[in-house]
Amino acid sequence: MSDFDQGATKVVAIVNQKGGVGKTTTAINLGAALAAQGKRVAIIDLDPQGNASTGLGIDLDRRQITTYDVLLGDVSVTDALQSTDVQNLRIVPANSDLSSADVEMVSKSQRVSLLRSALNSRGKTDIDIVLIDCPPSLSLLTVNAMVAAHSVLVPLQSEFFALEGLSQLMLTIREVRQTANPRLGIEGVVLTMFDGRNKLAQGVLADARETLGSLVFDTIIPRNVRVSEAPSFAQPVLDYDPTSKGSIAYRALAHEFIARETA
């Protein structure tokens, strides 16, 4: 058994089958904020679009070894990890190779646990937290993330229909628990791109708190232009503009994440 199964490393899948809700932004910035608090963090880019890789400055020509090779080749997570400009933050990058992975994985008998096996094959770990940045679907890639994870973190964009997809997501979580990963927990739901002046956004927050209760993080990520600018400078917002509202919020989210863990 490896450290992953023994729980020395916490594995969190960042999931929402909707695109554009803040999964990648949360992977990068929660990752950077946890790293700043001394945690050794690894992001696994599980989206063929590779936005997390780009946002952390891993150019395409540095993506010779990717998540694809971890899933379908014989490459260990350790060998695929690359350092970033952020101390304590590493990433297994992705590129468009990953778009064919779903189809190629289907024929494997262990198709849902390929990522889990790859994480477990790495022996003694020097990683405290793995954040898996999932694609915008409940595909085999996302199921692999849920099977490998201890918990799921769900970014929820503060807009109409935000809660609609959640029942499908909860069904998938239940299925994964019943089949491949009984220990899968829900880390929490984090409201993203929140605009407090917007009545609709306030309604989404109230609805989320009513239906999901304490699963909703107290920390809310505001809509903040510095957050959306940061990836084009290949930086987390925490480095791009440390005093921005977005940076303050992601630091608070990291504190809350750690506090919940130890509570």
* Site size toward Mg ion, by CB under 5 A: 3
Closest CB to ligand ADP among residues 9, 24? 24
User: Which residue's entry shows tokens 């009545």?
Assistant: 199
Q: Does 113 bind ligand ADP (CB under 6 A)?
A: no
- Which of 24, 120, 142, 158 touches Mg ion (CB under 5 A)? 24
Q: Edge-to-edge strand order for the sheet containing 10-14? A: 82-83, 89-92, 41-45, 129-133, 10-14, 151-157, 185-192
Site string for Mg ion, 40-79 (x = CB under 5 A): -----------x----------------------------
Could you tell me the two tokens for 232? Answer: 């084009």
The amino acid at residue 75 is V
Q: Is residue 21 involved in binding ligand ADP (CB under 6 A)?
A: yes
Question: 20, 123, 185, 196: which one contacts ligand ADP (CB under 6 A)?
Answer: 20
Q: Which of 4, 17, 23, 191 binds ligand ADP (CB under 6 A)?
A: 23
CB atoms within 10 A of CB 253: 24
Rule CB under 6 A: say whether 221 interacts with ligand ADP: yes
Minimum distance, C-beta of residue 134 to Mg ion, in the bound complex (Å): 8
Nearer to ligand ADP, 16 or 120 (CB): 16
CA distance 189 to 217: 6
What tokens appear for 131 in the block?
Answer: 């954040």
Using CB under 6 A as the binding rule, the residues of this chain from 150 to 179 that contact ligand ADP are none
Closest approach of Cβ 256 to ligand ADP, in Å? 16
Residue type, 62: R
Rounded to whole angstroms, how far apart are CA atoms 116 and 34? 22
Residue 197: other Cβ atoms inside 10 A: 6
CB under 5 A: which stretch of 2-10, 24-32, 124-132, 148-156 binds Mg ion? 24-32
Q: In the chain, what's the furthest Cα-to-Cα distance? A: 51
Asked if 23 is part of the footprint of Mg ion (rule: CB under 5 A), the reply reads: yes
Pairing type for strands 82-83 and 89-92 reads: antiparallel
- Give me the least distance between CB of 51 and Mg ion, in Å please: 5
Is the sign of the CA dihedral 235, 239, 241, 246 positive or negative?
A: positive
**CA 138/CA 244 separation, integer angstroms:** 33
C-beta of 104 vs 229, nearer to ligand ADP: 229
- 227 belongs to the binding site for ligand ADP (CB under 6 A): yes
Strand (E) positions, 48-105?
Answer: 82-83, 89-92
Nearer to ligand ADP, 21 or 35 (CB): 21
Within 122-151, which residues bind ligand ADP (CB under 6 A)? 136
Dist CA 257 CA 137 (whole Å): 25
Partner whose binding site includes residue 113, from Mg ion, ligand ADP, none (CB under 5 to 8 Å by kind): none
The footprint of ligand ADP (CB under 6 A) covers: 19-25, 51, 136, 192-193, 221, 223-224, 227-228, 246
Residues that bind Mg ion (CB under 5 A): 23-24, 51
